[in-house]
Amino acid sequence: MSTIDSIDKNKLPNHMAVIMDGNGRWAKQHGKMRVFGHENGVKTVRDTVESCVQIGISFLTLYTFSTENWKRPKFEVDTLMRLLVSSLKKELVTFMDNNIRLNTIGNIDSLPKKANRELQEVMAKTSGNTGMTLTLALSYGAREELKNAVQAISAKVKNNIISIENIDETIINNHLYTHNLPDVDLLIRTSGEHRISNFLLWQIAYAELYFTDVLWPDFNEEHLVKAILNYQNRERRFGKTSEQLT
């Protein structure tokens, strides 16, 4: 069994991102409605967050609701929003106890008022925490994020705040939702799907990708440790040759 102790603390992914997928299929396997899967997925979120704190991860970003997920049946969307509010209420104490700062990326204004208000409150209350930054991607779409960045930069060019020649990767980065986050080092997707589904397209340019067949509600600390150990055995070359790295 892989335990947290087997992880090399000097080679941790600084920023870990997770596409938490498979709640619906998990529920179906148990002969229940899809929302039962989401309810159980919340428990996995809680456990994963606590394990990441224990491991010493600095940035954890969770794909919680995509811009495309608005197309799901109203009952499912409503349940997801209700679960978000109740979890935030319940977990504030966990965030404080573990020195976690809550952050969000996405079109937060499009969320129901209640969810928006709860998020603002928890973010304000945890803003002084200095441990792990937990980012929830909510109503998040990477293409929308890039479109917004292009619009914001274009407006600055039009108003002579930025000149076209000066647009570089740093300026683009500074106009993304993730301007205060480092690049992703490790991206995990559960449930056996091998796709990105409009998540952090710019930020995963050099991330290590890890896919597991485990459905999100079944994903536990052992699976998490396995993913991190797998990451630690990879050689990240960033375009260089292997010889250049030593």
Residues labelled as active-site residues: 21, 69
Output 21 or 118, the one with its CB closest to Mg ion.
21
Alpha-carbon distances of 196 from 80, 199, 240, rounded to whole Å: 21, 6, 25
Q: Does 19 bind ligand IPE (CB under 6 A)?
A: yes
Supply 189's token pair: 């997707």
Handedness of CA 20, 22, 190, 67 (dihedral sign): negative
Q: Which stretch binds ligand IPE (CB under 6 A): 61-69, 84-92, 166-174, 237-245?
A: 61-69
Q: How far is 216 from 189, CA to CA, in rounded Å?
A: 9
Q: Does 64 bind ligand IPE (CB under 6 A)?
A: yes
Order of strands across the sheet with 101-105?
101-105, 133-140, 59-66, 15-19, 186-189, 208-211
Per CB under 5 A, the list member of 16, 18, 19, 21 interacting with Mg ion is 21
Q: Does 106 bind ligand IPE (CB under 6 A)?
A: no
**Which of the listed partners (ligand IPE, Mg ion, none) does 48 bind, with a CB threshold of 5 to 8 Å by partner kind?**
none
Contact, 113 vs 83, CB < 8 A? no
Output 193 or 208, the one with its CB closest to ligand IPE.
193
Q: Does 23 bind ligand IPE (CB under 6 A)?
A: yes
Q: List residues near ligand IPE by CB under 6 A.
A: 19-25, 63-66, 68-69, 80, 191, 193, 195, 197
